[in-house]
């Protein structure tokens, strides 16, 4: 049935009653237009924050990301979470942008509140995928929500790549070169330092997570660790790498002695303050995982 816009030539919005009955509102009042921020995490993981979330009462949001007319992430690709009291959606949404194009994306958001309201005007912002550049790259055993855990990790191989899809040349755009000890790589240089929060024994030192051995037991093993120390990390030397490379993908293998169900990639510029860039499920052991 078509909507009625006028009655006897008068706009419906200007009429309160017809034959003593209230006039329908015609769709209600538009919700407040959202303001938003997009933050890049590891390997195409992004977080969208609704900055004016407190302006809404029990809101819903529709989101999408596009390169021109090409959909990068539809509304269904955005993961929602609830407020701590579980009464409504929180201000944070996450999604994965797996498109390999370096082009600028446009992300759009509309808001709608519970009750007699209509969707807000569309808000938009742009973003690009830039990779991760950090002096320190840390692998930590975590739970599915990213919390620290004492469930140990056992890493037999790890490599970081500037290119997507784990492609590149070791030492040129894939890092590190094969480590022979914690500070020396396969060509005898000291371009990297490998360290760990906890080492079980000299048979399973931290650098064996980066030694390129085909044996899954040539590994770093965090047996006996506590939650805070359940990690192994790579540091790029500041002389060899005045600016750390920008990392777009990685490959990692976990030995079957791994108890953690997930791992996090954490980054730091100074080795003391770390930022969690992404949480990834350990979907198999004794085989290499390609991420993303």
Whether residue 152 contacts residue 95, with contact meaning beta carbons closer than 8 Å, is answered with no
Q: What is the model's pLDDT at position 278?
A: 87
Query: What are the tens digits of pLDDT across the range 111-130?
Result: 999 876 789 999 999 999 88
Domain ranges across the chain: 29-127, 132-291
| DSSP per residue, 125-162 | EEE----EE-SEEEEEEE-TTS-B--S--EEEEEEEES
For the residues 15-37, what does the mean pLDDT come to?
A: 67
Please give the share of the chain, as a percent, with pLDDT higher than 70: 90
Confidence tier at 9 by pLDDT (50, 70, 90):
low
What is the token pair recorded at 24?
Answer: 């329908």
| Tens-digit pLDDT profile for residues 55-67 | 998 999 999 999 9
Least Cα distance to 248 among 129, 95, 96, 158 occurs for 129
Q: Supply angle C-alpha 58, 59, 62, rounded to 5.
A: 155
Give the mean pLDDT of 131-153. 96
Examine the pLDDT at 23 and tell me if it is beyond 50.
no
On the question of pLDDT at 176 being above 50, the answer is yes
Rg (CA), the chain: 25
Is residue 98 very low, low, confident or very high in pLDDT (cuts 50, 70, 90)? confident
How much is the pLDDT for 35? 97
**What local confidence, expressed as pLDDT, does residue 99 receive?**
85
Q: Residue 197 above 90 pLDDT? A: yes
Is 40's pLDDT higher than 90?
A: no
- What was the pLDDT predicted at 20? 53
Residue 140 pLDDT exceeds 90: yes
CA angle 145, 151, 157 (to 5 degrees): 95
What homologous superfamily is domain 29-127 in, according to CATH?
Immunoglobulins (2.60.40.10)
Question: What integer pLDDT is reported at residue 208 of this predicted model?
Answer: 97
Confidence band of 230 (pLDDT split at 50, 70, 90)? very high
Look at residue 144 and tell me whether its pLDDT is greater than 60: yes
The one-character DSSP state at 31 is: P
The yes-or-no verdict on residue 259 having pLDDT over 90 is yes
pLDDT above 70 for 53: yes
User: What pLDDT score was predicted for residue 117?
Assistant: 78
* pLDDT computed for residue 86 by the predictor: 85
pLDDT over 80 at 6, yes or no: no
Does residue 33 carry a pLDDT above 90? yes
pLDDT average, residue stretch 4-31: 53
């Amino acid at each position: 049935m078509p909507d009625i816009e006028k009655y006897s030539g008068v706009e419906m919005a200007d009429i309160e009653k017809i034959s003593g009955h209230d006039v329908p509102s015609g769709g209600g009042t538009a919700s407040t237009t959202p303001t938003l921020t997009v933050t890049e995490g590891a390997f195409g993981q992004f977080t969208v924050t609704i900055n004016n979330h407190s302006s809404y009462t029990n809101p819903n949001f529709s989101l999408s990301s596009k390169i021109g007319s090409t959909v990068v992430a539809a509304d269904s690709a955005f993961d929602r979470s609830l407020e701590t009291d579980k009464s409504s959606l929180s201000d944070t949404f996450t999604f994965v942008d797996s498109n390999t194009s370096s082009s600028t994306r446009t992300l759009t958001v509309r808001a709608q509140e519970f009750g007699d309201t209509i969707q807000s005007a569309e808000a938009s912002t742009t973003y690009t995928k830039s990779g991760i550049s950090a002096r320190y790259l840390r692998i930590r055993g975590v739970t599915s929500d990213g919390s620290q855990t004492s469930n140990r990790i056992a890493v037999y191989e790890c490599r970081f790549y500037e290119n997507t899809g784990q492609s590149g040349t070791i030492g040129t755009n894939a890092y590190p070169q094969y480590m022979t000890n914690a500070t020396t790589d396969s060509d005898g240089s000291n371009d990297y330092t490998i360290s760990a929060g906890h080492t079980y024994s000299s048979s399973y030192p931290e650098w064996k997570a980066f030694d390129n051995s085909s044996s899954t037991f040539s590994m770093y093993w965090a047996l006996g660790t506590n939650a805070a120390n359940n990690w192994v990390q790579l540091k790029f030397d500041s002389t060899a790498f005045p600016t750390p490379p920008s990392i777009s993908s990685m490959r990692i293998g976990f030995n079957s002695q791994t108890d953690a169900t997930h791992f996090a990639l954490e980054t730091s510029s100074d080795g003391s303050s770390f930022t969690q860039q992404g949480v990834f499920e350990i979907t198999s052991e004794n085989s290499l995982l390609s991420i993303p």
